[in-house]
Structure 1
Amino acid sequence: MKAVQFADYGGPEVLRPVQVPEPHAGPGQIRVAVRAVGVNPMDWKLRSGAMRQLMPLALPAIPGSDVAGVVDEIGAGVTGVDVGDEVFGFATADGYAEHALLEHFAVKPPTMSWEEAAGLPVAAETAVRGLDLLGVREGDVLLINGASGGVGLSAAQLARARGATVLGTASPANHDFLRGLGVLPTSYGPGLVDRVREISPDGVDEALDTAGKGALPDLVEITGTPDRVLTISDPDARRHGVRMTSGAEGRSYQALDEVARLFEEGTFQLPVARTFDLDQAAEAQEISQGGHVRGKLVLRVA
């Protein structure tokens, strides 16, 4: 089968189209004929070698974890799904390929495009995990730093579904879009504390950092304590007394069914910023690495 692989750590140019043997579903797994695969920051962080101390890879490696496709093999012990079903979920590995194996997945709503489905798994799971760790509930005021990215947009809509008021930092170009989702936007950078206090004079209950760009001291000041701040990406978290979640403490796979339900109800969307063919994976990762993407980047496989 066709896949995109890298044999050495490096820049986007190390990604190469290759032919590799097809995987087959083992116990507890399904195999899908991949229609689309999401591009996540973790993909380029692994490819670049930035994560090699924490997550060493056996090279050559095929990146990609967010997959949407049609079930064509079902392993022993798997129930509730049939060959031919359209699903989205987490690839066990090797998502940038024509076939992938999944252990955690949900049925794709009929009105959801392949590209939309492929953009959901990591963003939705990370968002739900973050909201649960913070304990966001009805009546809370939540500040999301980096509200226009995949995780930020997911967290904003999921928090509103819980009955929370949501404030979000983003570039001014994204403010109207956030308002359309019911989010109170503000700009990131110097002066954040004063801007947030003007928007929410009664305070902020929790803050979720999805951007990892040095905002933690401001978020601690805004909430009044590091205990009510959570980051998914700032390596300086411990220095500021802030929790960081990587998923090592457990994953919130129920997020897949939750976002599928909210999508069908018309209360959740995750825009696809741009799509690429599988052979353009290097270009997609380069854009992802540059940041400032509203929504998700997705590779079309078939």
Structure 2
Amino acid sequence: MKKVSFAEFGGPDVLQLIDAEEPHAGPGQIRIAVRAAGVNPVDWRVREGQVLKAHPIELPAGVGLDASGVVDEVGEGVEDVKVGDHVFGEGSSTYAEFAVLSAWARMPEGLTFEEAAGYPSVVETALRVIRQVGVRPGQRLLVSGASGGVGSAVLQIARERGITVTGMAGAANQDYLRSLGALATTYGEGWVDRVRQLGHVDAALDLAGSSVIRELVELTGDPRKVISIADLGAPELGVLFSGVAGSVPEALAEAVRLISRGKLHIPVERSYTLAEAAKAHIDSQAGHTRGRRVMVV
């Protein structure tokens, strides 16, 4: 099978499309014929060797956590899906023609494979950081990096829970944020004053790593009311860096519930082939995403 792999840590150029042996499902796992794989910032952080404590790997290694596809192998003890089912979920080395998943759910009706591949990690992350930051219905949440995958999920989940959101993104994504129910503002000089004009901030999330931690602490008045998933230096300012996943099966179940009720939709901004993995990582690192980027197999 074809698989994206890297044999050394480094830039996007270390990614190679290789011929590899097919993986097989162990107990409590399933294997899918991959139709699409989500492109997440953690993918290139792993490729660069930034997050070895949270994601220890041995080289050479595959790339990718999220995927959607067709079940073609069911491991011992798995009873909730069968060969031929369409699923999305999380596993390892998902930039490949076949991948093993350790957490999955059946795809909601009407969702394409490309769309489905964009949900697993971002919904888990969104649910986790909303819980960790302790924001409650009726309060206001500030989200930096609000137009990306996690931001798109945060905005919609928060809205569904009665939380008011102010979203920060580039000028081109202001209308997109408003379409998700958020108040919107841009980065750049004077952004702190612009945020204050939109209302008091009870809690804040840094999803983009745009060197805004000090200002977010200033706006909330408490470093414990700020969470980052993108700035590795956040703990130096007393802010939690949230990098350890919670329950992925629970997140997938919540994603299915919200999608089925029309409460959650994350658009696919761009698709790439496996041979374009390096380009996908370059674009992901550049940011300014509206929704998700995915690999199509």
- TM-score, normalized by length of structure 1? 0.94
2:295 aligned partner: 299
Alpha-carbon contact 1:126-1:252 (below 8 Å) kept:
no
CA distance in 2, matches of 1:295, 1:282: 19
- Gap runs ≥5 in structure 1: none
CA distance in 2, matches of 1:247, 1:106: 21
Local SS of the residue matching 1:109: coil
Deviation at 1:187, TM superposition (A): 1.1
1:87 aligned partner: 87
CA distance in 2, matches of 1:122, 1:153: 13
- Count how many residue pairs are aligned between Structure 1 and Structure 2: 297
- Gap runs ≥5 in structure 2: none
Moved more, 70-79 or 174-183: 70-79
Residue type of the alignment partner of 1:10: G
Deviation at 1:57, TM superposition (A): 2.6
Residue type of the alignment partner of 1:231: S
Task: Verify: 1:215 aligned to 2:201, yes or no.
Answer: no
2:272 aligned partner: 276
Residue type of the alignment partner of 2:31: R
Kindly provide the CA deviation profile for residues 115-158 of structure 1, in whole angstroms up to 9, marking residues without a partner as x: 11111111111110001112233212111111011111111111
Alpha-carbon contact 1:136-1:159 (below 8 Å) kept:
no
Kindly provide the CA deviation profile for residues 232-276 of structure 1, in whole angstroms up to 9, marking residues without a partner as x: 11122122111111116x445412121222112222111111001
2:240 aligned partner: 243
CA distance in 2, matches of 1:110, 1:54: 34
Local SS of the residue matching 1:124: helix
Shift in alpha-carbon separation, 1:5–1:27, aligned structure 2, 3 A: same
2:144 aligned partner: 145
Residue type of the alignment partner of 1:158: I
Kindly provide the CA deviation profile for residues 177-223 of structure 1, in whole angstroms up to 9, marking residues without a partner as x: 111111100112332321111111xx122111101121111111111
1:205 aligned partner: 202
CA distance in 2, matches of 1:71, 1:53: 31
Shift in alpha-carbon separation, 1:55–1:254, aligned structure 2, 3 A: closer
CA distance in 2, matches of 1:235, 1:47: 16
> Residues 9-48 of structure 1: matches in 2 within 5 Å?
9-48=9-48
Deviation at 1:277, TM superposition (A): 1.2
> Residues 117-132 of structure 1: matches in 2 within 5 Å?
117-132=116-131
Shift in alpha-carbon separation, 1:255–1:234, aligned structure 2, 3 A: same
CA distance in 1, matches of 2:57, 2:30: 23
2:107 aligned partner: 108
2:252 aligned partner: 256
CA distance in 2, matches of 1:219, 1:253: 31
CA distance in 1, matches of 2:35, 2:158: 30
CA distance in 1, matches of 2:102, 2:133: 27
RMSD: 1.5
Deviation at 1:53, TM superposition (A): 6.4
Residue type of the alignment partner of 1:57: I
Local SS of the residue matching 1:254: helix
Task: Verify: 1:231 aligned to 2:228, yes or no.
Answer: yes
1:157 aligned partner: 156
Kindly provide the CA deviation profile for residues 2-59 of structure 1, in whole angstroms up to 9, marking residues without a partner as x: 1111122222222111111111111110111110001111111222233356644311
Residue type of the alignment partner of 1:42: V
Using the aligned pairs only, state the percent identity.
51
Alpha-carbon contact 1:134-1:229 (below 8 Å) kept:
yes
CA distance in 1, matches of 2:224, 2:50: 28
Moved more, 186-195 or 79-88: 186-195
CA distance in 2, matches of 1:52, 1:228: 27
Task: Verify: 1:63 aligned to 2:63, yes or no.
Answer: yes
CA distance in 2, matches of 1:221, 1:164: 21
CA distance in 1, matches of 2:276, 2:222: 44
Local SS of the residue matching 2:69: strand
Local SS of the residue matching 2:264: coil
